[in-house]
């Protein structure tokens, strides 16, 4: 039914104009000749002129946002019209329509009524063929905005050039290590602020919602509050973290597509008003509340370090259905969202996802006007190799988004991009061994701790020893009894001894937050290094009784949620 509705809505205005053209052609034809064949030919030409004039303008307008070049826009308009109507037009104009009109005129012995009946009979055949061609062009992606990467000279983002000796010599670092030893994660809020500025300059039109999951440390939240950022959460626990930092809940969106009824109730009670859905079940859960939804579209994220569309996101057809279902259920359908995958280094993936989402927004605009596009996160960080800069990514997607910015709010969800460079890990060698003629060095932190990104994400964080010497292929292992607790295998290192320290920059995202405490080893402490200014002085304060969250003690939240019914 959705396909039939799509075809009818596309062709009905053109058919009404074609009907006018039919009568104009009949009036002109009967003035010039009495031959049924000639009259049918004149009517066919007039009808086609009216029909294609409307559709040519429609396709031309569809191509305007992505093809500002006049000649290229004209070429693509002609190609799309040909793909959609070429097969149907050949069959219709050369065979079906003249034959049907001639037969109808001879059968009814009336030129006017014969032309009208023959035209309608031919339309049925034409609609069937053209509709099938149109749906085929949609299915195969021909109508989507073509991804044309802007190959501007944006240098790649290079891995950290941090000097381990210089870092260890910093007074605050040296003092901390002297007092408490290792391992320690050093957090620098100024780096978060700098990265936020980089992203703000690259995407000045986007509302930046920090992905709290990447690193929920209070100093990062406070820094981003100072910068004017908003936030996105994937659980009520992350929401509680923001509320504890006095974040205005109007700046929070809940992006996990699957939520328990109790968590939805709690988040709505706290004031959250935007949720992400990707199934009909989630639409039904939210239907009782006065909230808005973003429907999450599955996009190609196969080139990302972590493919997030394998677990979440709806197909194009399901996305259409969910938009209509949510609208029918009384929810405010704010728009669409997608995520290209974590640590996405393929610039084309961002542009392709934007194209697909904008095409759906355009397609559904006549029934459910949408005002928001959430482009997610995934912006990469340089660990052991260069990655595309945020400027290169912005150059690929900004031209596609620009024509929509007067009517479409754009949201981005940076997490890793803002937090990763803000933390540096310092750990120590606690043991040495030689196995299979290779040196093994055992550290006091590992893949069950701060190096969890090695195990969870398959990353290779930088590992910088502050000593020099001839290098050999080595193994760095963590402190647990687990044989998979290997931080790096085959890393080139100089000879190390117990007590030597190892420095790892770019450790601020998905490290401490995904540590699991295996063997009872305590989480690595996080020490905030002095910032340029005291950010706490500018943190907004909550007004008592402002309705931002239910009034209950922090320690009671989890217990109360657990006690609430699940339906």
Q: Which residues are catalytic?
A: 481
C-alpha to C-alpha distance for 350 and 93, rounded to whole angstroms? 42
Residue by residue, DSSP assigns 221-236 as HHHHHHHT-EEEESSH
Instruction: Provide the β-strand partners of residue 426.
Output: 184, 503
Closest to 332 in 3D by CA, of 369, 301, 361, 365? 369
C-alpha to C-alpha distance for 496 and 466, rounded to whole angstroms? 10
CB-based contacts of 543: which residues, under 8 Å, 6+ apart?
none
Evaluate whether 52 touches 81 at the Cβ level (below 8 Å): yes
CB-based contacts of 12: which residues, under 8 Å, 6+ apart?
none
Can you read off the two tokens belonging to residue 207? 């509302």
Evaluate whether 460 touches 383 at the Cβ level (below 8 Å): yes
C-alpha to C-alpha distance for 443 and 492, rounded to whole angstroms? 16
DSSP 8-state assignment for residue 528: E
C-alpha to C-alpha distance for 352 and 476, rounded to whole angstroms? 39
C-alpha to C-alpha distance for 463 and 443, rounded to whole angstroms? 12
Rounded to the nearest 5°, which phi and psi values hold at 152? -80, 165
Can you read off the two tokens belonging to residue 208? 């930046």
Q: Reduced to 3 DSSP states, what percent helix, strand and coil does the chain have, rounded to the nearest 5?
A: 50, 15, 35
């Amino acid at each position: 039914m959705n396909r039939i509705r799509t075809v009818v809505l596309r062709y009905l205005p053109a058919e009404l104009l074609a009907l006018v053209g039919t009568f104009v052609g009949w009036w002109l034809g009967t003035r010039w000749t009495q031959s049924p064949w000639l009259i049918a030919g004149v009517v066919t030409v007039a009808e086609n002129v009216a029909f294609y004039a409307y559709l040519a303008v429609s396709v031309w307008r569809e191509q305007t946002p992505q093809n500002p070049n006049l000649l290229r826009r004209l070429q693509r308009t002609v190609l799309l019209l040909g793909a959609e109507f070429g097969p149907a037009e050949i069959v219709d104009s050369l065979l079906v329509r003249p034959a049907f009109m001639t037969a109808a005129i001879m059968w009814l012995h009336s030129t006017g009524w014969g032309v009208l009946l023959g035209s309608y009979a031919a339309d049925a055949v034409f609609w069937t063929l053209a509709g099938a061609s149109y749906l085929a062009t949609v299915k195969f992606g021909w109508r989507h905005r073509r991804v044309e990467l802007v190959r501007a000279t944006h240098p790649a983002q290079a891995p950290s050039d941090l000097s381990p000796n210089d870092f260890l010599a910093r007074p605050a670092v040296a003092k901390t290590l002297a007092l408490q030893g290792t391992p320690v994660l050093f957090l620098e809020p100024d780096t978060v602020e700098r990265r936020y500025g980089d992203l703000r300059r690259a995407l000045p039109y986007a509302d930046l919602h920090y992905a709290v999951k990447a690193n929920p440390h209070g100093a990062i939240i406070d820094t981003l509050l100072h910068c004017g950022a908003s936030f996105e959460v994937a659980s009520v626990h992350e929401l509680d973290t923001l509320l504890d930092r006095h974040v205005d809940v109007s700046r929070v969106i809940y992006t996990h597509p699957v939520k328990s009824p109790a968590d939805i109730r709690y988040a709505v009670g706290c004031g959250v008003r935007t949720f992400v859905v990707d199934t009909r079940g989630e639409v039904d859960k939210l239907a009782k509340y006065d909230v808005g939804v973003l429907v999450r579209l599955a996009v190609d994220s196969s080139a990302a370090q972590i493919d997030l569309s394998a677990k979440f996101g709806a197909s194009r057809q399901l996305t259409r259905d969910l938009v209509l279902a949510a609208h029918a259920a009384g929810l405010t359908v704010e728009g669409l969202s997608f995520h290209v995958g974590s640590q996405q280094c393929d610039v084309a993936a961002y542009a392709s996802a934007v194209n697909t989402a904008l095409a759906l927004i355009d397609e559904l605009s006549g029934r459910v006007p949408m005002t928001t596009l959430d482009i997610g996160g995934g912006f990469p960080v340089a660990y052991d190799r260069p990655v595309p800069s945020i400027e290169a990514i912005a150059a690929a997607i900004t031209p596609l988004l620009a024509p929509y910015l007067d009517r479409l709010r754009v949201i981005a969800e940076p997490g890793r991009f803002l937090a990763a460079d803000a933390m540096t890990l310092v750990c120590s060698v606690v043991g040495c061994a030689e196995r299979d003629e290779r040196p093994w060095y055992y550290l006091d932190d590992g893949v069950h701790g701060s190096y969890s990104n090695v195990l969870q994400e398959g990353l290779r964080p930088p590992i910088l020893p502050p000593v020099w010497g001839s290098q050999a292929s080595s193994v760095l292992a963590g402190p647990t009894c687990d044989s998979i607790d290997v931080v790096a295998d085959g890393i080139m290192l100089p000879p190390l001894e117990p007590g030597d320290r190892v420095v790892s920059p770019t450790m601020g995202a998905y490290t401490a937050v995904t540590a699991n405490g295996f063997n009872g080893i305590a989480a690595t402490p996080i020490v905030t290094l002095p910032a340029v200014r005291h950010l706490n002085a500018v943190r907004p304060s909550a007004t008592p009784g402002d309705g931002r969250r239910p009034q209950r003690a922090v320690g009671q939240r989890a217990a109360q949620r657990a006690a609430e019914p699940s339906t």
